[in-house]
Structures are given as structure tokens and as C-alpha cells.
């Protein structure tokens, strides 16, 4: 399972100026918990590519003040695809680059201006790119 140290955010934007400033109706910060199963493609040499697929659970973490009050954004499940490559620096040390594409849709509801009920289905489809160093203890 993996996640993001700095969780992605999303903004719902409507036509016109629904909130003071920039037309952003409401912002929400979320953290994706990702569980994937992977397949390592066997190739000779130090470069080892892999592919994976799995599920994502988006956990809603924080909302920002704006024109929508009583905002309720529901946690949701989605899908993930993954591709990456590892490079064997030594037997114990590897460097990697990984790309994950997530597909998520969340339901949200609240009150516009404090009294008009509103609801939305928002697509959150981020691409996450990560790189790092791995150490194997065995």
C-alpha cells in the first residue's frame, strides 16, 4: 500500500463568480490509499520493468472555506494502473521510477450561500509519478 506525503487537492469551479475572488466553489484535499498487484517482466540485465493494477481508496482530509457550506464529500473507491522500472545499482540497492494513473469519482453535497442545496459528482483522475532508492535486507 502506498500514499502521498503531500496529498493532492481538487477544486470545484463553476461558471461566473460564485465565491469571492476566483470562482472556486469549494476545495477539498484528499489522500489516496493505493493497493496494487504487480507483475515483474523478466529481462536480462540490471533494468527490471513492472506493471500493476489495483484499487484506490480516496480519503477526504480537509476542505477550504468558500461559498459552499455544510460540504459533505464522500470517501470513495476507484481503480489504478501502474508501470515502473527498477535499476539494480548493487545486489542490495535499487533505484526506481514509478507512474500510477488513478480513476476516482466522488459525490459531494452542501449548501450554496448557506441555503440552496447543491450536489455534484466530481472526477479526480490524478497521475502520480514517484522515484526513489530501495534497500533489500535479504
pLDDT tens string 51-90: 999 999 988 776 654 677 777 788 899 999 999 999 999 9
Q: What is the pLDDT of residue 69?
A: 76
**Rounded distance, CA 138 to CA 123, Å?**
42
- Per-residue DSSP letter, 22: T
**Rounded distance, CA 115 to CA 112, Å?**
6
The larger pLDDT score, comparing residue 66 to residue 38, is at 38
Whether 4 is in a domain gets the answer no
Whether 98 is in a domain gets the answer yes
Bridge-based pairing of strands 24-40 and 9-13 is antiparallel
**Rounded distance, CA 19 to CA 32, Å?**
28
**Rounded distance, CA 52 to CA 40, Å?**
9
The residues facing 84 across adjacent strands are 50, 98
The alpha-helical segments, DSSP class H, found in 41-131 are none
Whether 103 is in a domain gets the answer yes
CATH of residue 13's domain is 2.40.160.20
Q: What is the pLDDT of residue 34?
A: 93
Whether 63 is in a domain gets the answer yes
Whether 1 is in a domain gets the answer no
Whether 29 is in a domain gets the answer yes
Alpha-carbon 138 to chain mean position: 32
Whether 54 is in a domain gets the answer yes
Nearest partner of 27 among 8, 6, 12, judged by Cα: 12
Whether 88 is in a domain gets the answer yes
Q: pTM to 2 decimals?
A: 0.71
**Enclosing domain of residue 21:** 9-135
- Per-residue DSSP letter, 16: S
Within a 13 Å sphere around the CA of 62, how many CA atoms are in the beta-carbon half? 6
The domain tally of the chain equals 1
Amino acid at each position: 500500500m502506498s500514499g502521498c506525503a503531500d496529498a493532492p487537492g481538487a477544486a470545484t469551479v463553476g461558471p461566473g463568480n460564485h465565491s469571492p475572488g476566483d470562482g472556486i466553489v469549494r476545495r477539498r484535499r484528499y489522500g489516496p490509499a493505493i493497493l496494487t498487484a504487480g507483475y515483474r517482466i523478466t529481462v536480462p540485465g540490471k533494468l527490471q520493468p513492472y506493471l500493476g493494477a489495483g484499487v484506490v481508496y480516496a480519503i477526504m482530509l480537509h476542505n477550504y472555506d468558500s461559498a459552499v457550506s455544510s460540504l459533505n464529500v464522500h470517501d470513495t473507491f476507484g481503480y489504478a494502473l501502474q508501470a515502473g522500472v527498477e535499476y539494480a545499482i548493487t545486489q542490495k540497492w535499487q533505484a526506481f521510477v514509478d507512474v500510477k494513473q488513478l480513476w476516482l469519482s466522488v459525490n459531494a453535497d452542501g449548501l450554496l450561500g448557506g441555503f440552496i442545496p447543491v450536489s455534484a459528482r466530481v472526477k479526480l483522475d490524478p497521475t502520480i509519478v514517484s522515484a526513489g532508492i530501495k534497500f533489500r535486507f535479504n
